[in-house]
Amino acid sequence: MFTFPLLLTIYAGFTHAFEADHLLAVTNIVSRRDHIWLSVKDGIFWGLGHSSTILLIGVLMILFKVGISEHSFHYFEAGVGLMLIALAVYRLQKFFRCKKLVIHTHGHTHSHPHRTADEGHKHLHVHFAPKQNFNHTQLQVHTHDHSHKLAFGVGLVHGLAGSGALVVLVMAQIKNPFDGLSYLLIFSAGCIGGMLVAAGLFSVPFSKKLIQAPVLQTLLIIATSVLCIIYGGKVMYDNLLLLLIS
């Protein structure tokens, strides 16, 4: 009797990670990584942040009987939309700043003699150092941030809204508080697993092989960031509109 609802709750948590707003957010997070393990860790921290908020709201509603109306979640949803826009703008700013630093750090100009049939002359050439010849200063430009604070913070905000919030509302209706919290924990475990997998999968287009193609990398990052801004704007508009007409 218990096995089926348990598996259903894990499945619901796992698939929750693959909702559109989650995928857009995680793509912008893992696009700065060049190693799948760092992306997977981002997914874990993203899931932990997301689950922390859901569990906190769940404890308030189930154990302490704090009433949070469905109306309030529209404000949370609008906040998530704003976060998606901010995340995309931040990602673009970091990406283009990094490209600018790489160009200014690695480029150098010098002159050398060229001999034609009649005479020698000098002209300028611009060279860029290959990866294997990077010095210490150049390596610092390419060093990636190994912190997962961004992923955890995005997860915290995301836990305030979406179907995760609806899950809390549903679980709050379960008469036995222990059962309600148990299912929230199981749902959260499924979320973390799903977000781990999603982060790993969506980091593949930004792997080292594709990063060797700068044009493709730039197009991917711009495309995912623009989609994130558009979707975030839609989420804000839809929820603020609902608040105005309600």
Q: Model confidence over 38-55: pLDDT tens digits? A: 999 999 999 999 999 999
CB burial of 130-165 (b: ≥16 within 10 Å; e: otherwise) equals eeeeeeeeeeebeeeeeebebbbebbbbbbbbbebb
Can you give the pTM of this predicted structure?
A: 0.80
SS3 letters for 85-100? HHHHHHHHHHHHHHHH
User: What is the pLDDT, as a whole number, of residue 171?
Assistant: 77
User: What is the pLDDT, as a whole number, of residue 82?
Assistant: 96
Higher per-residue confidence, 190 vs 120: 190
Could you tell me if 237 and 58 are in contact, meaning their C-beta atoms sit under 8 angstroms apart?
Answer: no
Parallel/antiparallel/unpaired status of strands 107-115 and 120-128 = antiparallel
List CB contacts of 105: < 8 A, sequence separation 6 or more.
137, 138, 141
Count the helices and strands in the chain (H runs, E runs). 10, 2
List CB contacts of 140: < 8 A, sequence separation 6 or more.
none
| pLDDT over 70 (residue 106) | no
What integer is the mean pLDDT of 155-183?
A: 81
3-state helix, strand, coil in the chain (%, to 5): 75, 5, 20
Q: What is the mean pLDDT of the chain?
A: 81
List CB contacts of 67: < 8 A, sequence separation 6 or more.
61
| pLDDT over 50 (residue 56) | yes
Higher per-residue confidence, 120 vs 67: 67
Q: What is the pLDDT of residues 188-240, one digit of tens each?
A: 999 999 999 999 999 988 877 666 778 888 899 999 999 999 999 999 999 99
Q: Residue 115: which H helix or E strand, with range? A: strand 107-115
User: Rounded CA gap, 151 and 153, in Å?
Assistant: 6
